[in-house]
Amino acid sequence: MYRVRVGLLVLIMPSLVFAATHDQQTLASIESRLGTYPVIIARMSISQNISILSRPVVSSGHIVVDRRLGVIWQIDAPFASTTMFPVSASAGASSAEPGARIVSKLISTIVGGQFNDLTAYFSVDAVAMSPDGDFSVTLKPVNSGLARMFSRLVLRGSRELKLVELVSANGDTTRYEFSDYQHPATGKASLSEYLPMLR
């Protein structure tokens, strides 16, 4: 029985590897369009459509992704709030709640242009690329923990990433729209040194 199971696994493995490689190629082609930068600062507008609410929950702010130092998630309106996710050298990372860490990690991975890393969380469900450079990619979560929260992730953009839409398992959606990209030189000693740039 053990041999049968291992045999089946050996037969299935190449198709799994092929699927993973194909997803990586798709995302790598988008990554190459967007380019990768050590530091990215962007304005973001967030709109959450939640089924029990009569109107969307809307907020705006900035996101800073420094590959070396971590991520700043700053909300400017409707009220000011800043959360930092420093890169940690150990397993004991940020003190932020797990949900915040997951979303921040996903968004910073996307905004930071590390599309190849997305295959760790999602598989490519649909891709549309126009000749003038616009793209739209729909991704589905690969692990059951993420799948319990989100049913899909949609990315849209052209030369820059414009929209990320997270669709939750119950159908609610959260849209993150990005604009005013900046690519400042790296060299900051800590994440907090970016805060004056966000005012």
198 lies in the site for another protein, by CB under 8 A: no
DSSP, res 95? S
Nearest-CA neighbor of 50 among 154, 170, 176?
170
Amino acid at 5: R
98 lies in the site for another protein, by CB under 8 A: yes
The Cα 26–Cα 54 span in angstroms is 38
* The total number of residues written for the chain in this structure: 199
Output 34 or 153, the one with its CB closest to another protein: 153
Which range touches another protein (CB under 8 A), out of 34-42, 111-119, 124-132, 180-188?
111-119
36 burial type by CB count under 10 A (0-12 exposed, 13-18 middle, 19+ buried): middle
**Looking at 39, 42, 110, 121, which residue binds another protein (CB under 8 A)?**
121
106 lies in the site for another protein, by CB under 8 A: yes
93 lies in the site for another protein, by CB under 8 A: yes
Residue in the structure block whose two tokens are 């696994």: 9
6 lies in the site for another protein, by CB under 8 A: yes
Q: Phi-psi category of 171—alpha, beta or left, where left has phi over 0 and alpha has psi -120 to 50?
A: left
Which residues ranging from 125 to 184 are in contact with another protein (CB under 8 A)?
A: 142-146, 149-150, 166, 168-170, 172, 174
The Cα 182–Cα 69 span in angstroms is 17
Output 46 or 129, the one with its CB closest to another protein: 46
87 lies in the site for another protein, by CB under 8 A: yes
Which range touches another protein (CB under 8 A), out of 13-21, 125-133, 180-188, 191-199?
13-21
95 burial type by CB count under 10 A (0-12 exposed, 13-18 middle, 19+ buried): exposed
Which range touches another protein (CB under 8 A), out of 42-50, 131-139, 177-185, 186-194?
42-50
Q: How many CA atoms lie within 13 A of 187 on its CB side?
A: 3
Residues near another protein, by CB under 8 A: 1-2, 5-6, 8-9, 13, 16-17, 20, 24, 46, 48, 50-55, 57, 59, 73, 75, 78-79, 81, 83, 85, 87-93, 95-107, 109, 116-121, 142-146, 149-150, 166, 168-170, 172, 174
